Amino acid sequence: MGDVMDDILKIFFEECDELLPELESGLGELSEEESSKETINAIFRAVHSIKGGAASFGLDRLVRFAHVYESALDCLRSGTVEPDPAIIKTFYLAMDVLSDLVAEARNTGDPVEDSRIEENVHKLEAIIGQGGEGQPASGVGETPVPEDFTPVTVDLGGFDFDEPVEEAPARTLTVRFRPHSELYSRGDDARNLLMGLRELLPEDALGSLQVTCDMQDLPPLAELSADEACLGWTVQLPEGAGGTTEDDIHAVFDWVGDVCGLEIIREEAAGAASSDEAEAAGDGAEELPFIAEPEAAVALAEEGAVPAPEAEMAASSRPAAPARSGRKRGEQNASIRVDIERIGMLMDMVGEMVIGQASLESALTRENALHDQELLKRLAVIKTLTRDIQEAVMAIRAQPVRHVFQRMQRVVREASALAGKDVALVLEGEETEVDRTLIENLTDPLTHMLRNAVDHGIENPEARQVAGKPAQGTIRLSARHRSGRILIEILDDGGGINTQRVLQTAIKRGIVPPGASLGENEINELIFAPGFSTAEKVSDLSGRGVGMDVVKQAIQNLGGRVTIKSMPGKGTLFTLSLPLTLAVLDGMLIECRGSIMVVPVSSVVELVTVRTDEDVYTIPDGSHVVSVRGRCIPLIYLGDELTLPAEPAGQAGSHHMGRAGEAGQLIVLVVENEAGARAALVVDGVRDQAQVVIKSIEKNYRQIQGVSAATILGDGSVSLILDVSTLIVSATKRVDTRALEAIAERAA
Amino acid sequence: MEFMSSDDTKQRNGQADGQVSASTGGREQMIIFTVGEQRYCIPILSIKEIREFEDPTYLPHCPPYVEGAINIRGNIVTVVNLANYLDTAPQPDNERRVVVIIEDGGQRATCGLLVDSVIGITEIALDEIQPISVDGGAAELSGLVSIGECVIRILRLDAVLGRLLGDDAITAAAG
Amino acid sequence: MTDGDKVRVLTVDDSRTMQGVLRKALGEAGYDVIQGGDGVEGLEVLQQADPVPQAIITDINMPRMDGFQFIEAVRKLEAFSSIPIICLTTETDEEKKSRARALGATGWIAKPFNAEKLVWAIRRVTA
């Protein structure tokens, strides 16, 4: 049983992952005044579903909060409150609490502080109070949370009997009931009620149950109408001590209170009961004080015979109504839910196919068969098809960035609250699709960049007023496709980058030497330097220890670039350019000590041959730099860096494009990271350029310094994809930049 | 994992770590192989396939017991040189070396074990396994079992994979 | 495909969590459970079901076609006009209950419910 519940719990959390974004986007629509009745319903439903699911698992804290939230939303739904900005803000904050409570229940988040819950509950209750529904006070504590399958008393649905509470044993309860025809048309049956009464008695006491059918109103057969009910029943059963209580009986009749006459009479002894029974059977319906609505009672008097639903079914021959007639919202995208693992498998197989195709091509090249025009043509067809299939699978995995973007609303909300600023986040291009592998990795960098924009980009309200800007700052987060990549822009309307201050800080932190003259762009780039922070007061945000260098690194790890543009007095624009997928990569295949490795083409600057005696310098700490076009670059002997075993003697002779021809020469591949830092990789040669399928190494092994992933080459062998960024970082750390400048001067 | 009944999980974990609880009184099929002069065994259900040794791709900064990475139907799988791992000398000039590909139920990781030769399959009674004290420095093994004159060591697969995935101190990666 | 001895119940709920809970509770109580994700799906499942379910449990608050519309639609279908329909809802207010009943709902269970309450309700209408 536990296992099944665990599965359902997992489904519940998955569902929360879907519902919370729905809630958020619904609230977004509310604030954009696009709200329709349907939006409000969707918002309500999201909270309602979370509450309902949580209740099934006894997630008490979550249920209680969701209940208050739901009640507040209900005021919105019923129109008793209007969605003004203050209320929407409360709903947003409550959503954050709800989301954190879900995380708490899931053990993926810190426990939510009681004071925070309380504070939000108060705000929500204020809304409920505004709506004048008068239910807030009872709301919080009252919500029932099941204590795992204890018997439950069923709600009494409006009956109000004044029952004298005296303990007297061995009494008999007489139940008289008389269903109206509506009872049958609701799919119920007098039989169900009789069975329900029978079940009230223990097995060995069934003998004490007496049932009489009251047929007095039954008309002659000829006058019998199929749609009318005219039978009543009288049931006698023992009360008390292991027997039945009136409440039990009311429970049986709970659902039919409005469509069934009911009377319960308590009698002292069995003898008295029997006389009463006779009387009841004889007198019929009129004398019984039926608990029914007045109209129903009138209808009862006019009603004829036969309760059976069978008769009702047989008698009518109306054509079946169409199931869905004119339902406006019926139109929807036909879609299916597919396990992501299956798509992953498909993706893997397509990857295999790409490799297979490449290996076929390489085999044919070896055989010199590529001179055969016919073969070439067919190979080209397969190649095109393979690429098309690959793209089609990619499209399946593509998701709009909406979800990630919407999460940023909360980031900005929290960051601006902490910073004491008023900031609005405007989203654009949320529909832009990228591969889901990328989406998952986008959240953290974007979070940090938006915090940065709130913290450092947008000015204080006072400063904004002085500058003649609206007190509320605006950050625009947008996404769009451009030439096979996705461009994400973060534009704030703050003061732009204060280059003077950035430079001073960089000098103070020893990032640049004092007196260095840097261009504006170079200064701007400094904010990406490790250890840089311009925050004058250590705010909570910068106190998190995440600098923009980490962000940049993360973006680079995704194969992306960050650029920055400052417009003094007007704002700052960060642009992220990212590949659409993390599944494939344009790679340059290089050779080093007999190993073929892949360098992402995006990071390659140039391939040059340098002379060891003229262009390579050894600096005092023992490391090497190379001068390429007057610029000194740290030299990385790739074989040594990656501890590659020496190539067996005699095998080093084969010729490749770019292979070092003569002694005293080195082939270096100049690579660049996003910060513009460069390094020169000493390689044996360059083999080819190809699109490679990225395979994880860490799935079956640990992370390897200097290697980001692996791929499989046409011949089926494993090839490593180099992590250019970390290689450059470790090389530049080794090399003192001041030494570089000195050498550059000498070389010039 | 979540769709596995708890019995399944137990069974799979049992396969994976080669630790078979002695109290069950059951029997288990094991595959026996040699590394150097010694014989070892692992549960047959943990084995995905056995393949010829082919030169793997060297993995930078790897410890001596990592032979390299190979491609198994599109997955990058690390090959462990068991002789180095167990700190024993492999058979010299061995042409029969094979790679036993194993999969771990709990961690869902796969790796290859480079062994000198595969001898065969045997069924052992779980209650005949002699436990080994871990203080004796035998963290690689979960027990011994005697078949005839021969003592066979039971390899702990969870320990192999744990070392590979880097949850020990010798993790080379620094991030 | 179906277990001939079991009483078949259709549950209609847009929450996959609730669907799971219902499937488990009813399944363990020995019912054959078929499910639909909203009113529209519920109707589709109902019309295709063979054998026809002996009871329906439906949520009220659902997208596309809500519980009220669903009950109304089922009652309009000749073949299903007398199937007991139990509404499953957290709404405690009488207005919703009476609206559901006016449309032909047989009974209701207030959420959160437990397995006993649920099974009691089903037994109540399929006795």
Complex ipTM: 0.80
Residues of B in Cβ contact (< 8 Å) with A1 = none
Chain B: closest CA distance from residue A455 (Å): 28
- Pick from C104, C117, C123: CB nearest A185: C104
CB B171 within 8 Å of CB B146: no
Higher pLDDT, A595 or A236: A595
- Pick from C24, C44, C127: CB nearest A192: C127
- Tally the C-alpha atoms within 13 A of residue C22's C-alpha that lie toward its C-beta: 32
CA A20 to chain centre: 7
- Pick from C15, C117, C125: CB nearest A49: C15
The pLDDT score that the predictor gives to residue A319 is 42
Mean pLDDT of A308-330: 41
Mean pLDDT of A379-402: 83
Mean pLDDT of A59-86: 86
Asked, for residue B172, whether it belongs to a domain, the answer is no
CB pair distance less than 8 Å for B69 and A718 = yes
Mean pLDDT of B35-46: 91
Residues of B in Cβ contact (< 8 Å) with A719 = 57
The pLDDT score that the predictor gives to residue A225 is 73
What is the β-pairing status of strands B110-115 and A707-712? unpaired
Does residue A45 sit at the C interface (CB-CB below 8 Å)? yes
Supply the DSSP symbol for B116. Answer: S
Domain A2-142 grouped into CATH 1.20.120.160: yes
Higher pLDDT, A287 or A255: A255
Query: What confidence tier does A271 reach under pLDDT thresholds 50, 70, 90?
Result: very low
What is the β-pairing status of strands A624-628 and A631-637? antiparallel
CA A471 to chain centre: 33
The tens digit of pLDDT for each residue in A56-71 reads 788 888 988 998 998 8
Statement: residue B145 has pLDDT above 80: yes
Which backbone phi and psi does A735 adopt, to 5 degrees? -90, 125
Angle at A142 between CA A138 and CA A145, to 5 degrees: 160
- Alpha carbon distance A403, A33 (integer Å): 20
Q: Which CATH superfamily, name and number, covers C8-126?
A: Response regulator (3.40.50.2300)
Residue of A nearest to C100 (CA): A186
- Alpha carbon distance B163, B166 (integer Å): 5
**Which candidate in C21, C64, C74, C83 is best for mutational testing of the A interface (most A CBs within 10 A)?**
C21
Q: Where is C67: in which H helix or E strand?
A: helix C67-76
The tens digit of pLDDT for each residue in A504-543 reads 888 887 778 787 777 777 788 888 877 776 544 444 444 4
Euclidean distance between the first and the last CA atom of chain A, given in angstroms as a whole number: 78
Residues of A in Cβ contact (< 8 Å) with B2 = 6-7, 10
CB pair distance less than 8 Å for B175 and A703 = yes
Query: What confidence tier does A302 reach under pLDDT thresholds 50, 70, 90?
Result: very low
- Tally the C-alpha atoms within 13 A of residue B64's C-alpha that lie toward its C-beta: 6
The domain at A172-312 falls in which architecture?
2-Layer Sandwich (3.30)
- Alpha carbon distance A720, A714 (integer Å): 14
CB pair distance less than 8 Å for A15 and C79 = no
The tens digit of pLDDT for each residue in B76-101 reads 999 999 999 998 888 888 888 999 99
What is the total count of domains within chain B? 1
Asked, for residue B171, whether it belongs to a domain, the answer is no
Residues A697/A701/A702/A708 CA torsion (nearest 10 deg):
-10
CB A698 within 8 Å of CB B76: no
Residues of A in Cβ contact (< 8 Å) with B110 = 700
Residues of A in Cβ contact (< 8 Å) with C77 = 320-321, 323
Q: List the one residue out of A704, A723, A106, A92 whose CA is nearest residue A408.
A: A92
Residue type, C91: E
Among A257-271, B26-40, C100-114, which range has the highest average pLDDT? B26-40
Q: Which two tokens stand for residue A614?
A: 């003229």
Which residues face A721 on adjacent strands?
A: A598, A709
Supply the DSSP symbol for A146. Answer: -
CB A564 within 8 Å of CB A674: no
Return the sign of the alpha-carbon dihedral for residues A328, A331, A332, A337: positive
- Pick from A3, A645, A700: CB nearest B58: A645
Q: Average per-residue pLDDT in chain A?
A: 75
Per cent of chain A over pLDDT 70 is 75
- Domain definitions of chain A by residue range: 2-142, 172-312, 340-398, 401-579, 584-747
The pLDDT score that the predictor gives to residue B33 is 94
Q: At CB < 8 A and 24+ separation, what contacts does A340-348 make?
A: A340/A436, A343/A393, A343/A396, A343/A397, A346/A393, A346/A396, A347/A393, A347/A397, A347/A583, A348/B74
The pLDDT score that the predictor gives to residue B68 is 94
Statement: residue B112 has pLDDT above 90: yes
b/e burial code for range A242-267 (CB count within 10 A of at least 16 → b): ebbeeebbbbbbbbbbbbbbbbbbbb
CB C69 within 8 Å of CB C99: no
Which residues face A611 on adjacent strands?
A: A665
User: Cβ–Cβ contacts within 10 Å for residue B47, how many?
Assistant: 17
Asked, for residue B17, whether it belongs to a domain, the answer is yes
Residues of C in Cβ contact (< 8 Å) with A144 = 112
CB pair distance less than 8 Å for A699 and B76 = yes
- Pick from C14, C24, C124: CB nearest A196: C124
Residue type, A566: S
Mean pLDDT of A727-732: 83
Domain A584-747 grouped into CATH 3.40.309.10: no
CB pair distance less than 8 Å for B166 and A7 = no
CA-based radius of gyration for chain A = 39
Does residue A647 sit at the B interface (CB-CB below 8 Å)? no
Residue of A nearest to C40 (CA): A324
The tens digit of pLDDT for each residue in A651-692 reads 444 444 344 445 788 899 999 876 678 899 999 988 888 878
Residue type, A601: V
Among A298-302, B37-41, B136-140, which range has the highest average pLDDT? B37-41
10 Å CB burial of residue B50 (0-12, 13-18, 19+) is: middle
**Which candidate in B7, B51, B55, B58 is best for mutational testing of the A interface (most A CBs within 10 A)?**
B58
Does residue B69 sit at the A interface (CB-CB below 8 Å)? yes
Chains linked to A by 3 or more Cβ pairs within 8 Å: B, C
Statement: residue A462 has pLDDT above 60: yes
- Pick from B62, B68, B78: CB nearest A700: B78
- Alpha carbon distance A494, A423 (integer Å): 10
CB pair distance less than 8 Å for B60 and A7 = no
Return the sign of the alpha-carbon dihedral for residues A476, A478, A483, A485: positive
Return the minimum-mean-pLDDT range out of A609-623, B108-122, C43-57.
Answer: A609-623
Q: What is the DSSP string of A483-532?
A: TTEEEEEEEE-S----HHHHHHHHHHTTSS-TT----HHHHHHGGGSTT-
Three-state SS at B66: strand
Chains linked to B by 3 or more Cβ pairs within 8 Å: A
- Segments in A32-84 forming alpha helices (H): 37-56, 60-77
- Pick from B71, B111, B175: CB nearest A712: B71
Residue type, A350: V
The tens digit of pLDDT for each residue in A133-161 reads 444 433 343 444 443 333 333 333 333 33
Query: What confidence tier does B18 reach under pLDDT thresholds 50, 70, 90?
Result: very low
The pLDDT score that the predictor gives to residue A473 is 92
Chain B: closest CA distance from residue A54 (Å): 20
Peptide bond into B60 cis (omega under 30): no
- Pick from A15, A259, A321: CB nearest C17: A15
**Which candidate in A700, A711, A713, A722 is best for mutational testing of the B interface (most B CBs within 10 A)?**
A700
Query: What confidence tier does A10 reach under pLDDT thresholds 50, 70, 90?
Result: confident
Does residue A716 sit at the B interface (CB-CB below 8 Å)? yes
Chain A: closest CA distance from residue C7 (Å): 15
Three-state SS at B81: strand
What is the β-pairing status of strands A571-579 and A485-492? antiparallel
Asked, for residue B170, whether it belongs to a domain, the answer is no
The pLDDT score that the predictor gives to residue A142 is 41
CB A431 within 8 Å of CB A444: no
Domain A401-579 grouped into CATH 3.30.565.10: yes
Statement: residue A197 has pLDDT above 60: yes
CB pair distance less than 8 Å for B2 and A595 = no
The pLDDT score that the predictor gives to residue A320 is 42
The pLDDT score that the predictor gives to residue B39 is 92
The pLDDT score that the predictor gives to residue A396 is 83
Residues of B in Cβ contact (< 8 Å) with A359 = none
Does residue C51 sit at the A interface (CB-CB below 8 Å)? no
How many CB pairs (< 8 A) connect A and C? 153
- Tally the C-alpha atoms within 13 A of residue A126's C-alpha that lie toward its C-beta: 11
Strand order in the sheet with B117-125: B117-125, B27-35, B38-43, B150-155, B141-147
Chain A: closest CA distance from residue B174 (Å): 7
Higher pLDDT, B90 or A300: B90
Three-state SS at C99: helix
Mean pLDDT of A207-216: 77
The residue range of the domain holding B26 is: 6-165
Does residue A278 sit at the C interface (CB-CB below 8 Å)? no
Euclidean distance between the first and the last CA atom of chain B, given in angstroms as a whole number: 29
CB A153 within 8 Å of CB A255: no
**At B124, which CATH number?**
2.40.50.180
Does residue A699 sit at the B interface (CB-CB below 8 Å)? yes
Does residue C52 sit at the A interface (CB-CB below 8 Å)? no
- Alpha carbon distance A307, A179 (integer Å): 8
Average pLDDT of adjacent 10-residue blocks, chain C of 127 residues: 74 88 87 90 88 90 88 87 83 74 84 78 81
Higher pLDDT, A211 or B166: A211
Statement: residue A705 has pLDDT above 80: yes
CB pair distance less than 8 Å for C85 and A187 = yes
The pLDDT score that the predictor gives to residue C58 is 92
The pLDDT score that the predictor gives to residue A264 is 81
